[in-house]
Chain A
Amino acid sequence: MGIFDYFKSKNAPSSASVAKDRLQIIVAHERSKRHQPDYLPQMQQEIIDVIRKYVNIGSEDVQIQLDNTDDCSVLELNVTLPDQN
């Protein structure tokens, strides 16, 4: 790093710290999906298809999450319905 770079790079975060932040987010996201059963994405799609028969929703309006506690698993389904007008 030369004298000019020294002044230039004062306030911007280093590229390595950007890399670390991005990695921490994506790795945490991928780990949370690691333990979900293989059928979950397909089940999510089928649930969306059923709801779509009645209400017009996009795939981003449905959140499915599987939480495992000690002795049971909870499937949480969150559907955001469009405004009623």
Chain B
Amino acid sequence: MGLSGDTALAKIIVVTSGKGGVGKTTSSAAIGTGIALKGHKTVIIDFDVGLRNLDLIMGCERRVVYDFVNVINKEATLSQALIKDKRTAGLFILPASQTRDKDALTIEGVQEVLNDLAKDFDYIICDSPAGIEKGAQMALYFADAAIVVTNPEVSSVRDSDRILGILQSKSKRAEEGKEPIEEHLLLTRYHPGRVASGEMLSVSDVEDILAIPLIGVIPESEAVLKASNQGTPVILDTESEAGLAYMDAVDRLMGEERPLRFLEVQKKGFIKRLLGG
């Protein structure tokens, strides 16, 4: 199959950010799981060659036999490398390779794997590595939509703007002059209390600067670490604000209207406020 191959059947969504540690893999796991819960056959691909982590977040690290690079190099078939999620029906994971060879991913190789996946899946989620180098560019190249994960913090916002520039100039859609990649802002690690006291950029501050539509705001939550400790995507924790906020984001991604929630400060008593803390 050549470069002009058609992947129109499946929607390819890249989860990207530029900056590391903002929650790309957590978000890929949560959103991929959420889309599968809605009944769409979904695969999440880990593009972070050499620093595989999606498998840990999804709790399938001991079931990895073959990986993305093995499939590209024809050392394994897709069905051998795909890991079927045990909790969510219709959800699969394609793990990254732990090779240190930076050139393991090629445009042609990635295209061929995506084309094959597009025959079977409704959604392909590409979990991008940090940075703006080849790995990140490979993850976003074929995307139809992008979820730009951003923390309300200066370096993350600036890096998100850089990655938006790359989405608009270095993607397949940009190079071929097609309709641009749909851009969605996902604000994570949001702390309403700190926003209220003027210590943290607000949702509207970040929206003003990046000027792309908001798909969701995930509050800072202990549930995220707890979920990663256990290898369960946080969206399955329906007791937690973070889990519910991710589900809202998935609903919006599917075109449903959901009001933003968990952005209010939890009221503290008068004495506690007076004394601070």
A associates with B:
yes
A-B contact pairs, 20 of them (CB 8 A): A1-B276, A2-B274, A2-B276, A2-B277, A3-B274, A3-B276, A4-B276, A14-B198, A15-B199, A16-B195, A16-B205, A17-B198, A19-B153, A19-B154, A19-B205, A20-B208, A23-B154, A23-B201, A24-B209, A30-B165
Contact A2 B198 (CB under 8 A): no
Fill in one digit per residue for A11-49: 1 if any B CB lies within 8 Å of its CB, else 0.
000111101101110110011001000000000000000
Binds A, one of B46-54, B133-141, B155-163: B155-163
Interfacial residues, chain A to chain B (CB-CB below 8 A): 1-5, 9, 14-17, 19-20, 22-24, 26-27, 30-31, 34
With an 8 A cutoff between CB atoms, is B200 at the interface? yes
Contact B162 A23 (CB under 8 A): no
Contact A1 B161 (CB under 8 A): no
A19 to B158, CA, bound (A): 11
Tell me how far the C-beta of B147 lies from the nearest C-beta in chain A, rounded to whole angstroms: 19
Q: Quick one: given A2-B277, A5-B276, A19-B154, are A34 and B165 in contact (CB under 8 Å)?
A: yes
Tell me how far the C-beta of B23 lies from the nearest C-beta in chain A, rounded to whole angstroms: 19
Tell me how far the C-beta of A45 lies from the nearest C-beta in chain B, rounded to whole angstroms: 23
A9 to B209, CA, bound (A): 25
Contact A20 B161 (CB under 8 A): no
With an 8 A cutoff between CB atoms, is B254 at the interface? no
The 8 Å CB contact of A31, one of B161, B201, B205, B208, is B161
Interfacial residues, chain B to chain A (CB-CB below 8 A): 153-154, 157-158, 161-162, 165, 169, 195, 197-202, 205, 208-210, 273-277
Residues of B within 8 A of A14 (CB): 197-199
A-B contacts besides A2-B274, A14-B198, A27-B210, 19 pairs, CB < 8 Å: A1-B276, A2-B277, A3-B274, A4-B276, A5-B276, A9-B198, A14-B197, A14-B199, A15-B198, A16-B198, A16-B201, A19-B153, A19-B154, A19-B205, A23-B158, A23-B201, A23-B209, A27-B157, A27-B158
Tell me how far the C-beta of B267 lies from the nearest C-beta in chain A, rounded to whole angstroms: 14
Contact A31 B199 (CB under 8 A): no
Residues of B within 8 A of A27 (CB): 157-158, 161, 209-210
Tell me how far the C-beta of B169 lies from the nearest C-beta in chain A, rounded to whole angstroms: 8
Contact B197 A1 (CB under 8 A): yes
Residues of A within 8 A of B276 (CB): 1-5
A26 to B158, CA, bound (A): 8
Q: Which residue of B lies closest to A3 (CB)?
A: B274
Residues of A within 8 A of B161 (CB): 27, 30-31
Q: Which residue of B lies closest to A14 (CB)?
A: B198
Contact B157 A23 (CB under 8 A): yes
Tell me how far the C-beta of A5 lies from the nearest C-beta in chain B, rounded to whole angstroms: 7
Contact A19 B165 (CB under 8 A): no
Residues of A within 8 A of B199 (CB): 14-16
Contact A31 B165 (CB under 8 A): yes
Contact B162 A30 (CB under 8 A): yes
Q: Which residue of A lies closest to B161 (CB)?
A: A27
Contact B275 A2 (CB under 8 A): yes
